[in-house]
Amino acid sequence: MSKQSKKGRAEFSSSFGVIAAAAGSAVGLGNIWKFPYITGVYGGAAFLFVYLGFILAIGLPVMLSEFIIGRKSHRNAFGAFKKLAPKSLWQYIGILGVGAAFMILAFYGVVAGWSVDYVVTALSNGFADQSPDQLAVMFTSFIESPVQPVLYQLLFMVLTGAIVMLGIKDGIERNVKVMMPVLVVIIIILNIRAVTLPGAGEGLRFLFHPDFSKLTGEGVLSALGHAFFSLSLGMGTLITYGSYIDKKNNLLNTAVKVTIADTLIAILAGVAIFPAVFAFGIEPSSGPGLVFITLPNVFQQMPGGYIFAILFFLLLTVAALTSSISILEVVVAYFHEELKLKRKIATIFATALVALLGVICSLSMGIFKDYTFYDLNFFDLLDWISANLLLPLGGLFISLFIGWKFGRKKIRAEIENGGSISELMLSGFIFLVKFIAPIAIAIVFLSGIGLLKI
């Protein structure tokens, strides 16, 4: 799926390859594990609506900005700014991104490890005849144990490292092309089962009928953070992937397709989960275990549930893998191009460091759970800092860079590439990245961390 450009740098070979890679990065645990559980924590539909607003007004323009920066510079997240704005402070955006990549991948690998464990449990028919309470206890005692989740996390990180080491995506996109559609089909089947459960209506109301009085400042900040997290924005993932996109690609079109795919899958995951949450009497705000506790209940209640359970957790693992490689790639491309390490060495080094941080994350669920900071254990802390602080900050600077520094002519050239874009569209995009995105991010950010009262 990849080819060498004339300058010797790897490139995606087709526009489908680009979309598969970028959508593979965007669609992952963020959609299926995190989106339902934080929607549950922050009260349902009102959170969803705010999230959708952020996706449109901020996510999409920032995604296009990242693609532009990556393709124009042909560099990693740090090198891109160094090349486009030499000797300026802008390059530190890239450093912020590399830091965020470490933090995200550390806890991401832990959750992906849970998913691997659930494949194994599903294979041995371990969900059968368990009550909702028993399934909840099973999940909690598993993630708190000191050995098994750590081993699965390490296994997942080794897989991630191995794929990244193989270079720019040869095997992976070929797989993603098949796996992603299968995942979507399974989620749709789960949707049908979920909405026909007795009491499903309450779940759908929770997800789609907003009660804005439930919305808190913290909820709005989390919606913004999650918009970045889910679209893989704010830390240079799509700058790095953009650097492998060829000149002919229509970046706006790619950004729109990736955004739509990501958003649809999150909503489908919500529709699969919330009716079941209410039907089985699970607390919607029960946190990171929501998917792992709710769906096994559903699998038990459907014909062929044994097979669906295996397939679902297998595909969830694959979806996590196509995201985790994109996160690791940010670090590896940086180590390789800026610190001049061989790609192989860079990959081993980065994978080992992240895996180590991941072990601490995993243990913070159990034996280290009393070590907290503002009531957050290490796992939650990394999640909170990266999604709610680093990604929005990264997004703020990226939109400022395109809006104020890059220049209208160059923006036009990158978006048009041979075709044409109307003045109105171009001005609309520039207005969004120049004013709307930075101001909105700044307000949400400052009020979310308590520095601004509105």
382 binds ligand PHE (CB under 6 A): no
Instruction: Please choose, out of 4-12, 216-224, 323-331, 432-440, the segment that lies near ligand PHE by the rule CB under 6 A.
Output: 323-331
Q: Is 59 exposed, middle or buried (0-12, 13-18, 19+ CB in 10 A)?
A: buried
Number of residues that bind ligand PHE (CB under 6 A): 15
Near ligand PHE by CB under 6 A: residue from 17, 30, 132, 289: 30
- What's the min distance (Å) between Cβ of 280 and ligand PHE? 25
229 binds ligand PHE (CB under 6 A): yes
Q: For residues 132 and 394, which CB has a smaller minimum distance to ligand PHE in the complex? A: 394
Question: Are residues 333 and 76 in contact, defined by beta-carbon separation less than 8 angstroms?
Answer: yes
Instruction: Please choose, out of 27-35, 64-72, 154-162, 332-340, the segment that lies near ligand PHE by the rule CB under 6 A.
Output: 27-35
Near ligand PHE by CB under 6 A: residue from 22, 26, 268, 402: 26
Distances (CA, A) of 328 to 20, 67, 388, 449: 17, 18, 20, 28
Distances (CA, A) of 258 to 25, 178, 395: 10, 17, 17
Look-up of token digits 């700058």: 239
Tokens representing residue 300 in the block: 């038990």
Distance CA 364, CA 378 (A): 6
- What's the min distance (Å) between Cβ of 358 and ligand PHE? 15
364 binds ligand PHE (CB under 6 A): no
31 binds ligand PHE (CB under 6 A): yes
- Establish how many alpha carbons lie within 13 A of residue 202's alpha carbon, considering only the half-sphere containing its beta carbon: 12
351 binds ligand PHE (CB under 6 A): no
Near ligand PHE by CB under 6 A: residue from 28, 113, 305, 394: 28
CB within 8 A of 95, min separation 6: which ones? 78
Near ligand PHE by CB under 6 A: residue from 39, 115, 153, 237: 237
104 binds ligand PHE (CB under 6 A): yes
Other beta carbons within 10 Å of 158: 14
232 binds ligand PHE (CB under 6 A): yes
Q: For residues 150 and 261, which CB has a smaller minimum distance to ligand PHE in the complex? A: 261
What is the maximum span of the chain, computed from C-alpha positions, in angstroms?
64
- What's the min distance (Å) between Cβ of 118 and ligand PHE? 17
